[in-house]
């Protein structure tokens, strides 16, 4: 059930669901097991416009709103949260260039990003700057018509694989006022990557350190003006948090559906376990949490689309509630499967692993509570 969707929104949702059923769901277990990055499948998604979902049409995207983006991300996460999250991050980084970049920059980068011939990473987090993003230390010192970059970015999705890195760097004073946004291309001298991280989940996408050692980046790759970086980063995160909420909702819906099917087939004490009141109570709680998360996420998405004054608060609320609920629903689905849920022969354990990180990225859920609390008190 969705919150007052239009005919067009339902058509977009159904298109994304068909693509997922045909291209993602049948392959997701293999991608996870063999740590395959499905570049070809991701580029097929771009043929449907999913490489520039909310990039304006004049910049080459399909110019949809954040509700439509959430519907697409949710649908793909039903098959593979890891792959859906990768596409979400690419969209966030591409939107930053399309929304804040110069006309020359948009023309130079966005067409290949929308087609996903090139893919984009978002580089904010550092080894010593996670929740306290404004303390980042990667330096960008102006030298003629270039910036010289030194520092490292951590936990970067697509690190070493993607062609474009949208990076928050320090060009000025300490604090958020001294942060700027630069586009760094993969072939930049002085740019290198760490080994692919060994992760609990998200096996279908590479994650690595991004390192700068006297990396020279043209001044024309500056997004916006010097000092705009933190504002750009936070603007991107409003949409990113809604997308990761939608990603958790899609994964949780899959887990609920798998659990409903399983409990009707599994028999104990001479009857299906679906007949036991405890089973029904667990399913009821899972379905209620899921419906509430979806409704809140769609409300937040509408606020971001409309640039409402409380958009950041609601994006944080959606991210907090949906990712907490998504992990609980996946864990409860595993419990309903019993020992079988713990086996890799069933999809539940993959969703438990993939959804867990959603409580950490795009701002931890503890930071979401800080954002919400401050919004209420200001």
Mean pLDDT of 5-30: 97
CA angle 159, 164, 169 (to 5 degrees): 80
The pLDDT score that the predictor gives to residue 2 is 58
Confidence of residue 378 (pLDDT cuts 50, 70, 90): confident
d(CA 344, CA 198): 18
The pLDDT tens digits of the residues spanning 107-158 come to 999 999 999 999 999 999 999 988 888 899 999 999 999 999 999 999 999 9
The pLDDT score that the predictor gives to residue 358 is 98
End-to-end, the C-alpha distance of the chain in Å comes to 35
Which of 194, 229, 264 is at the close of a domain? Answer: 229
Active site residue 58: no
Q: Are residues 249 and 360 in the same domain?
A: yes
Q: What are the distances in angstroms from CA 164 to CA 76, 144, 254?
A: 23, 23, 32
Which tokens in the block code for residue 59?
């910049």
Q: What is the pTM of this model?
A: 0.95
d(CA 159, CA 139): 19
Q: How many CA within 13 A on the CB side of residue 178?
A: 14
Domain CATH for 370: 1.20.140.10
Q: Are residues 251 and 211 in the same domain?
A: no
Which tokens in the block code for residue 273?
């376990």
Per-residue b or e along 216-246, where b marks 16 or more CB atoms closer than 10 Å to that residue's CB: bbeeebbbbebbbbbbbbbbbbbbbbbbbbb
The residue ranges of DSSP E strands in 5-145, in sequence order, are 120-123, 139-143
Q: Are residues 72 and 172 in the same domain?
A: no
The pLDDT tens digits of the residues spanning 273-314 come to 999 999 999 999 999 999 999 999 999 999 999 999 999 999
pLDDT over 70 percentage in the chain? 99
- Model confidence at 169: pLDDT above 90: yes
Q: Are residues 249 and 367 in the same domain?
A: yes
Q: Give me the catalytic one of 126, 349, 359, 362.
A: 362
Q: Are residues 131 and 202 in the same domain?
A: yes
């Amino acid at each position: 059930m969705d919150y007052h969707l239009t005919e067009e929104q339902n058509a977009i949702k159904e298109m994304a669901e068909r693509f997922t059923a045909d291209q993602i769901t049948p392959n997701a277990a293999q991608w996870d097991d063999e740590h395959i990055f499905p570049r070809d499948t991701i580029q097929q998604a771009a043929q449907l416009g999913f490489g520039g979902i909310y990039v304006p049409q004049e910049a080459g995207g399909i110019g949809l709103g954040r509700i439509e983006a959430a519907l697409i991300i949710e649908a793909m996460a039903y098959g593979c949260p890891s792959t859906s999250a990768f596409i979400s991050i690419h969209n966030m980084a591409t939107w930053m260039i399309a929304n804040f970049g110069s006309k020359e920059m948009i023309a130079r980068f966005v067409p290949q990003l929308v087609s996903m011939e090139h893919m984009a990473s978002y580089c904010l987090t550092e080894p010593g700057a996670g929740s306290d993003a404004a303390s980042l230390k990667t330096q960008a010192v102006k030298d003629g018509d270039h910036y010289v970059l030194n520092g490292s970015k951590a936990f970067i999705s697509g690190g070493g694989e993607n062609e474009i890195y949208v990076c928050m760097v320090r060009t000025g004073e300490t604090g958020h006022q001294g942060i700027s946004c630069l586009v760094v291309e993969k072939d930049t001298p002085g740019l290198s990557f760490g080994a692919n991280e060994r992760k609990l989940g998200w096996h279908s996408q590479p994650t690595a350190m991004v390192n700068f050692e006297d990396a020279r980046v043209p001044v024309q790759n500056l997004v916006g003006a010097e000092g705009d970086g933190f504002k750009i980063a936070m603007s991107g995160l409003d949409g990113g948090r809604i997308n990761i909420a939608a990603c958790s909702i899609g994964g949780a819906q899959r887990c609920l559906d798998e659990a409903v099917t399983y409990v009707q087939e599994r028999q104990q004490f001479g009857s299906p376990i679906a007949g036991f009141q405890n089973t029904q109570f667990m399913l009821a709680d899972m379905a209620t949490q899921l419906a509430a998360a979806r409704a809140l996420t769609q409300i937040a998405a509408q606020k971001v689309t409309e640039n409402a004054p409380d958009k950041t608060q609601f994006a944080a609320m959606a991210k907090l509630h949906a990712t907490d609920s998504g992990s609980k629903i996946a864990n409860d689905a595993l419990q309903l499967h019993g020992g079988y849920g713990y086996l890799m022969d069933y999809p539940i354990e993959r969703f438990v692993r993939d959804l867990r990180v959603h409580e950490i990225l795009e701002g931890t859920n503890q930071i979401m509570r800080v954002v919400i609390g401050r919004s209420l008190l200001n």
